[in-house]
Amino acid sequence: RDEGCARQVVGVVVIAYKLLWVRHCVRQCASMLRTLFSQGGFNRSLCGLVGATVGYAFTNPDADTAYDIFPVQKPPPFAFVSAFNVEKQDLHTFEKKWKDVARFMQAQDGYLFTKLHKADDEVSEGLDAPRYQYIDEFRFTTADAHRRAILKPEYQKLVSVLPGRTSPSLMYSVVVDDTPKV
């Protein structure tokens, strides 16, 4: 009978210790929650969350969002303009082959965009005849990127099959840009 009582006493003591442990854990959690939901805790949590968000955004930019810390020091893009004289019977062939050149340029480092402009014969009828039927514009981030692209043998091959006469590419940098910022 003494053994049974001893076991019961040990069981009661173990339960008491467990209850004390639970009470201690509840008090710790309550203290932590009180700190978290106080004004100081809220401010710390908010600052930590904002800091983590901004840190993540700057270290993991996506395709649409790139943060430039010093945008004033960023050089303007460069435009490379060429003019083409093409015979009337070769206009369609020229446009088709020029698209191959544009596709090649799109795969080059520093490439921004391309535009091909065609003279409008109807509008220029009463005026002087246009000197060139086509003017193209390639935009690159740097002049060196454009130079590397046009020195590649693939580019030389594509340009050599364009019908008509080509003027040499002239480099322009953007001075005024009124493109709407999106």
Give tens-digit pLDDT for 94-109.
Answer: 999 999 999 999 999 9
pTM, two decimals, is 0.54
Assess whether pLDDT exceeds 70 at residue 49: yes
In the chain, what are the domain boundaries? 2-59, 73-173
Q: What is the largest CA-CA distance in the chain?
A: 125
Q: What is the mean pLDDT of residues 124-137?
A: 76
Query: Taking 90 as the threshold, does the pLDDT of residue 127 lie above it?
Result: no
Contact 131, 83 (CB under 8 A): yes
| 17-29: average pLDDT | 89
Instruction: Reply yes or no on domain 73-173 having CATH 3.20.20.80.
Output: no
User: Rounded to an integer, what distance in angstroms lies between the CA atom of residue 58 and that of residue 61?
Assistant: 6
Q: Is the dihedral of CA 173, 175, 180, 182 positive or negative?
A: positive
Tokens of 105: 């340029």
